[in-house]
A and B are shown apart, each in its own frame.
Chain A
Amino acid sequence: MDKLKISKELLERYELGQCTEQEQATVRLWMDADDLALDESLSVEDLGVEQDNTTSANQSDAKDRVVKQELWHNISAHMQRPSSAMETKKAWSSSSVGYRELRKRSFRQAPTWLSIAAAAAVFLCIDWWTLSKSNSKSGNFNATNSEQSLMLWEEDGFALTLSQNSSASINLQSENITVSGDVLFTPKRDFVLHDKYGKTDFDFRQGQVYYISTNPNTSKLMVFSKRELQYLPPILQKHIRKQFNLT
């Protein structure tokens, strides 16, 4: 494992769709190295630092499993999306990491598959209502996260990470965006979107990461690039970085 130099930061970037092809391949190799331990009981908070050579092999393996579990939770978010048949093909045809990984697995990993299927079924039951609202109209992207601390969506034009109890609606054709709660938004090309009032243009740039939330005073969207976060109050900066695992 250590030879592959998997770090928490690399996995975070992988989740955010910011990895190079080589980095993506490295992470996929690492993902394939072990079974996905869905019943792992270790805390994700144990992963405060990158893997340390001085850590014992057992601890290192345990951490690996926790990271994978965390990734799996995000991957499972994609698994739920087939409930909306219209968007399934589109979602998997983009860089939907979870699907690619799972497709590689052989039948000898049947217990893992059963676990995955069970987990997917549970998620489908729990989130059926919210998820079934996703992508109800052509060209319109809707997503809601009411259960997990973070959920990641990969689309052709952007990647989106929703914090808990957040939702987003994005239509690249009509150039509209609405957000409830707060999200991280990573455009895969340059485009302009407007808030629901149609008065404010947000100029999104490819490769940048944006924090988007709703201003509690004005109910208008607030959009800050990752670099602009430095101008916010330090306590708020710290909260956002902690919430979205931003470096």
Chain B
Amino acid sequence: MRLFTCSSPTYFITLCIAFVAAGLGVSCNTSGGSSDSDSEQELLAPDTNNPFVPAYSLFASKAGKNTFIFIDSSWTRISTAPIPHAEFNREFILRKGHLYQVNPKTDYLIQYRIGFDGLAALDSIQLINDNIEQYHWKNDSDTLLICNVVHAGQETARFYEIDTKNFSLLREAELPLPAAVNDFDILSLGLLRYQNDKLWIAYAYSKMLSRTAYSTIDTMYYRTLDFASLRVLSEQKDTRSANPGGINTIQSYSGTAENGDFYFMSGPGIAAGNAMHLPTAIFRRKHGTEQVDQQFMINVSEQIGNHAYGFWYLGDNQALVRSEQADKFADFSNHHLVHQFDYFLTDLRSGKMAKLPLPLDKGTRKENLVQQGNDLYIAIDDADDRHSVWRYDLNSKKATRYLSPKLSIDYLLRLDKIR
């Protein structure tokens, strides 16, 4: 929009060329350059006449209405597809061309197949409540493990084991987790992992302080269960932070390194646990052990002076951390509206964090990272109301605005790899 105000003929000609190129469906790909190279941006219009196999998907929101934007494998063509029903939201699991989401009206977990035209419902399984808090693919197979919190009366944790190939429920059981600790009676499930016939779960307890204020207990709880019987094998309490992990159908908070070590981040910030006196930190559970390593902790808050929420493992002991800026928001009520989010490349060996040259993002929680080799593709909603996929090259350390849909958008809530 800034270009329209320029009086220079050169800018006018540039603008005309840009519009012609956009009309021809030319890609906005660039091969490098600085992070704020506006002149390289072109808007990519949806192409609905020439079907392609969607390789990536953006989940966009405009005035509260959600839409899928599909992208082809070369990042040069996009199309839009409607959501299956009005209640369809950004909390879903996507894997191998299929998508899984609970219909909040019916509490059925629906399996969809993703096609160019949109989502086709294939099958369903009844759950109790609609709030999947954790999912995990058992041994990276087609067996999906999910757990949620049942709200009726005292909160209890429910576990489901699902064969997604036949979409059948293999097992449903209550997880042996205490309903409350003292007067902290809100249970949150932060992490779920399967390893060596054992189920490991991290969880937290919160309590309401007033109608809209709450706090989370200053202890992170971990339990290891026997996978077959769900019997408790061990328990660990960790007071170094609060609120381990988070709801991973909305955003990632953990990752497994090539050697099997498991890393995760806590979320005591105002938009998650709201135990602000404790630091956001990265923790590790070494491969083959049941205990979280008490000798390892990367204090994110100490380094960047802020809390953070998203964590993605990138390979070679590097991770991406998405952090807020406390001086830019008033409280939780405008936290999602403010352009404040930075992205930090984090070295898990040294603990050092380096800010990426990207515009400030908005939206408190997002699953908005796709990695292809050394390229990170990150969907960002910037302060100039531009909604783009940026590409960051881990080798050259350059960031480029890579793809901007020619659509009216408030938030790019997700960027997923479909296949």
Contact = CB atoms under 8 A, between A and B. Distances in A.
Between A218, A236, A239, the greatest number of chain B beta carbons within 10 A of the residue's beta carbon is seen for A236
A87 interface: no
Interface residues of A, number: 32
A154 interface: no
Interface stretch (B268-276, B285-293, B311-319): B268-276
B64 to A, nearest CB: 4
Interface in A211-234: 213-218, 222, 224-225, 227-228, 230-234
Interface string A81-115: 00000000000000000000000000000000000
B213 A48 contact: no
Nearest to B91: A230
A242 interface: yes
A15 interface: no
Interface in B257-295: 270-274
Contact of B246 (A45, A49, A213, A234): A234
A182 B212 contact: yes
Given A9-B105, A235-B206, A45 B153 contact: yes
A56 interface: no
B146 to A, nearest CB: 16
A9 B106 CA distance: 8
A62 to B, nearest CB: 16
Contacts of B347: none
A247 B90 contact: no
A215 B188 contact: no
A47 B128 CA distance: 12
A163 B66 CA distance: 30
Interface stretch (B116-124, B328-336, B393-401): B328-336
Given A239-B214, A242-B151, A247-B130, A234 B247 contact: yes
Contacts of B186: 235, 238-239
Given A230-B89, A234-B247, A217 B331 contact: yes
A231 B364 contact: yes
B364 A216 contact: no
A230 B90 contact: yes
Contacts of A230: 89-91
Contact of B105 (A46, A182, A247): A247
B332 A239 contact: no
A231 B188 contact: no
B349 interface: no
A213 B211 contact: yes
B131 interface: yes
Nearest to B337: A231
Contacts of B206: 235
Interface string B101-113: 0001111000000
Nearest to B151: A242
B131 A247 contact: no
Contact of A215 (B87, B151, B331, B363): B331
Interface in B78-99: 87, 89-91
B211 A234 contact: no
Contacts of A234: 188, 246-247, 250, 272
Given A215-B212, A238-B131, A239-B208, A233 B151 contact: no
B274 A233 contact: yes
B368 interface: no
A45 B210 CA distance: 23
B150 interface: yes
Between A9, A218, A224, A235, the greatest number of chain B beta carbons within 10 A of the residue's beta carbon is seen for A235
Interface string A158-197: 0000010000000000000000011000000000000000
B323 interface: no
A236 B64 contact: no
Interface string B133-156: 000000000000000011111000
A235 B216 contact: yes
A225 B332 contact: no
Contacts of A182: 211-212
A242 B128 CA distance: 14
A9 B333 CA distance: 28
Contacts of B153: 45
B270 A233 contact: yes
Given A213-B211, A235-B188, A247 B87 contact: yes
A193 B246 CA distance: 36
20 contacts: A47-B152, A48-B128, A50-B106, A182-B211, A182-B212, A216-B210, A216-B213, A217-B330, A217-B331, A230-B89, A230-B90, A232-B332, A232-B336, A233-B270, A233-B271, A235-B186, A235-B188, A236-B332, A238-B151, A238-B186
Interface of A: 9, 45-50, 163, 181-182, 213-218, 222, 224-225, 227-228, 230-236, 238-239, 242, 247
Given A9-B105, A238-B151, A247-B87, 10 more contacts: A50-B106, A217-B330, A224-B333, A232-B333, A233-B214, A235-B188, A235-B216, A236-B332, A238-B186, A239-B208
Interface of B: 64, 87, 89-91, 104-107, 128-131, 149-153, 186, 188, 206, 208, 210-214, 216, 246-247, 250, 270-274, 330-333, 335-336, 363-364
In the A-B complex, the 5 residue pairs with the smallest Cβ-Cβ separation, listed nearest first, are A48-B152, A227-B64, A231-B336, A247-B104, A45-B153
